[in-house]
Amino acid sequence: GWDKKNDYSAVIKSKKGLQTRFEIYHKGEFVREFTIHVPGDHNVMNALAAIAAARYSGVSWEGIEKGLDTFFGAIRRFEKIAEVKGVTIVDDYAHHPKEIECTLKAAKGLDFNRVWAVFQPFTYSRTKILMDDFVKALSIADIAVVTDIMGSREKNTDGVYAEQLAEKIPNAVWFKTDHELVDKQTAQQKEYNFSQCIDYIKKNCKEGDLVITLGCGDVYKLAKRLAKEL
pLDDT in tens, 27-78: 999 999 999 998 888 899 999 999 999 999 999 999 999 999 998 887 888 8
Angle in degrees, 0-180, between the axes of helices 41-56 and 61-69, rounded to the nearest 10: 140
CATH no. for residue 222?
A: 3.90.190.20
The pLDDT score that the predictor gives to residue 39 is 83
Q: Is pLDDT of 17 > 80?
A: no
Same domain, 43 and 95: no
Same domain, 117 and 223: yes
Q: Is pLDDT of 109 > 90?
A: no
pTM equals: 0.81
DSSP 8-state symbol, 177: -
pLDDT in tens, 164-210: 999 999 999 999 888 888 888 888 888 999 999 999 999 999 999 99
The pLDDT score that the predictor gives to residue 113 is 94
Q: Which residue range(s) make up the domain with 125?
A: 79-229
The pLDDT score that the predictor gives to residue 183 is 81
User: Which runs of consecutive H residues, i.e. helices, occur in 34-85?
Assistant: 41-56, 61-69
**In the listed set 69, 94, 112, which residue is the last one of a domain according to the structure?**
69
Q: Is pLDDT of 133 > 80?
A: yes
The total of structural domains in the chain comes to: 2
Is residue 138 within 8 Å of residue 169, measured between CB atoms?
yes
User: Is residue 3 in a domain?
Assistant: no
Phi, psi of 31 (to 5 degrees): -110, -60
The pLDDT score that the predictor gives to residue 101 is 95
User: pLDDT tier at 137 (50, 70, 90 boundaries)?
Assistant: very high
Q: Mean of the pLDDT values across residues 100-116? A: 91
Same domain, 131 and 94: yes
